[in-house]
Amino acid sequence: MTFENLNIIPPILKALAQENYTTPTPIQEKAIPPVLEGRDLLGCAQTGTGKTAAFSVPILQLLSKGQGAKGGKRPIRSLILTPTRELAIQIHDNLQAYGRYTSLRSCVIFGGVSQKPQEAALGQGVDILVATPGRLLDLMNQGFVDLRQLQIFVLDEADRMLDMGFIHDVKRIVAKTPSKKQTLLFSATMPPEIAQMVKNILIDPVKVEITPVSSTAQKIAQSLYFVDKENKQKLLIHLLQDKSIASVLVFTRTKHGADRVVRDLSKAGISGQAIHGNKSQNARQAALNNFKNGATRVLVATDIAARGIDIDELSHVINFNLPNIPETYVHRIGRTGRAGLSGTAISFCEFEEKPYLKDIEKVIGKTVPVVTDHPYPMQVTAAQPEPASAPSGQQKRAKQGPTRPSGGRSARTPGQPQPAAANRQGQSGSSRDGKPGSGGRSRAEAGPKGQARSGPSSQPARRGPLWPDSASGRSASGKPSRPGKA
């Protein structure tokens, strides 16, 4: 099966080829045809299964065919609603990549940053709007967003919307959309509130269900090395002395971490290149080509940069940093062992990443075998206590907030509540009524640099009256879901 077999139009096929998309994933193969036919769709799939392209590609095609006469402000014809700013940005970036050879225009809006650039982008007119709930409601209430001509509505990660307390905002937004529209809903799980939502906003939907993500991990030979943060690079170089590791994809948590790994590998005489968001498309493509043809032995990547990479003969995956989202671990290691070949996944775990390991093992349903015979065994086996006072006699200020695992980016320890909505740059990022989880913007909606992303990036008719009001918009535990990328 190829994208050509799915009857995708040439401009989008050309863009997909440039993104190295050749073979549709199962959810893309099953979802794209009914969406192109105008059917409502219920997608039960985890992040990382390719669901973004599963709805983005047919939306671009439908809106391209239905493009009206030029002139005048473009109405919003498709709305994609997501729970977090990271996912919103990622979806918008993908829309721009897949739709670069169409004349469609898209925009992304999220809270926690100045809305002025977003107002300007909306004022120019957009075909596709990607948004988080809080900021979208703000701009709707101020008259900057008009959904009366909406044709296609996508609700992505509906279960996370529920967990993060956005479910009532979603209801308010749906109430402002036309009764006749095409609706696509994606959710990894189906709690009662989401099941009720499905009944109320979808009409005779096609149901697409993908095998749970945990099953992928059973096919891969996995191993775990407990190692201190400062010795991870040494351990990586030690392992790469084994020439049987022919090609290895190394995952880091941050862009700077990826560059640092490549620099240290180069000093050790090991060929490696990094791909991440700070690299140009040409640089990323060159690095990928070098890796595929064997000129580069090690490719170091962040999770977002690795999306769309399809390498059939990859012998090893190494998790330099454990991900804080357990499903991401499965998506990472699933890149090896394809096409019936054997695959090996190696993970490094420092002390502060042990909570992530526990979550990972719960998802995959097994304990990852530990390798103890290596030259850099973990020495740090407990959290380091804070000294009672500074040498000068002045009391040291206690550390605030969650522990920062290696990689530089703050990641919430499992079970820890999401911090209150606040903008680190001093701009207003609180919810509209000042209460976290009340339907306003959490910090998860905030975005970098306050920029509204706008650029080149359908289908009829349905209904969608509001469903009966359900109980709480939070999970049974009362905890918000952990933030992360898709």
Whether residue 351 sits in one domain with residue 243: yes
What's the rounded mean pLDDT across residues 392-409?
Answer: 41
What pTM does this model have? 0.54
> The sheet that has 248-251: what strands, in order across it?
221-226, 344-349, 316-319, 248-251, 298-301, 272-275
Q: Looking at 364, 391, 422, which one is the last position of a domain?
A: 364
- Work out how many domains the chain is built from and give that number: 2
The reply to whether 135 falls in a domain is yes
Residues 205 and 294 reside in one and the same domain: no
Under the banding of pLDDT at 50, 70 and 90, the label for residue 268 is very high
Q: Would 239 be classed as within a structural domain?
A: yes
Q: Contact 314/291 with Cβ under 8 angstroms?
A: no
75-134 pLDDT per residue, tens: 999 999 999 887 898 899 999 999 999 999 999 999 988 999 999 999 999 999 999 999
315 and 169 both lie in a single domain: no
Same domain as 112, residue 155: yes
Alpha-carbon gap, residue 422 to 198, rounded angstroms: 32
pLDDT of residue 85: 83
Looking at the fold, whether 144 and 12 belong to one and the same domain comes out as yes
Same-domain pairing of 38 and 81? yes
485 occurs within a structural domain: no
Torsion region of 400: left, alpha or beta (phi above 0 gives left; psi -120 to 50 gives alpha)? beta
462 lies in some domain: no
List, in order, residues 6 or more apart from 141 with CB less than 8 Å away. Answer: none
In a domain? residue 38:
yes
Question: Is 192 found in the same domain as 240?
Answer: no
pLDDT digits over 329-384, tens only? 887 888 887 655 678 999 999 999 999 999 899 888 899 999 999 999 999 877 66
* Among candidate residues 364, 398, 433, the one where a domain is terminated: 364
H or E element in which residue 63 lies: helix 51-65
Q: Determine, yes or no, domain membership for 416.
A: no
Alpha-carbon distances of 310 from 17, 37, 423, rounded to whole Å: 12, 28, 37
If asked whether residues 178 and 222 sit together in one domain, one would say no
| Residue 174: domain span | 4-212+443-456
Task: Compare 147 and 292 and report the one with higher pLDDT.
Answer: 147
Give the pLDDT of residue 465: 40
Residue 139, domain CATH: 3.40.50.300
In a domain, 369, yes or no: no
Q: Which two tokens stand for residue 1?
A: 């099966």
For residue 343, which of 320, 315, 310, 309 has the smallest C-alpha distance?
Answer: 315
Average pLDDT value for residue range 238-245: 93
Tokens of 250: 């190394």
Of 364, 399, 417, the residue that ends a domain is 364
Pair 142, 180 in one domain: yes
CB atoms inside a 10 Å sphere around CB 297 = 18
Do the beta carbons of residue 347 and residue 368 sit within 8 Å?
A: yes
Are residue 234 and residue 205 in the same domain, yes or no?
A: no
Same domain for 61 and 153? yes
Whether residue 126 is contained in a domain is answered as yes
What digits encode the pLDDT tens for the residues 58-81?
999 999 987 654 556 899 999 999
Counting Cβ atoms within 10 Å, is residue 372 exposed (0-12), middle (13-18) or buried (19+)? exposed
Position 8 pLDDT exceeds 70: yes
Same structural domain for residues 83 and 226?
no
Q: What is the pLDDT of residue 380?
A: 86
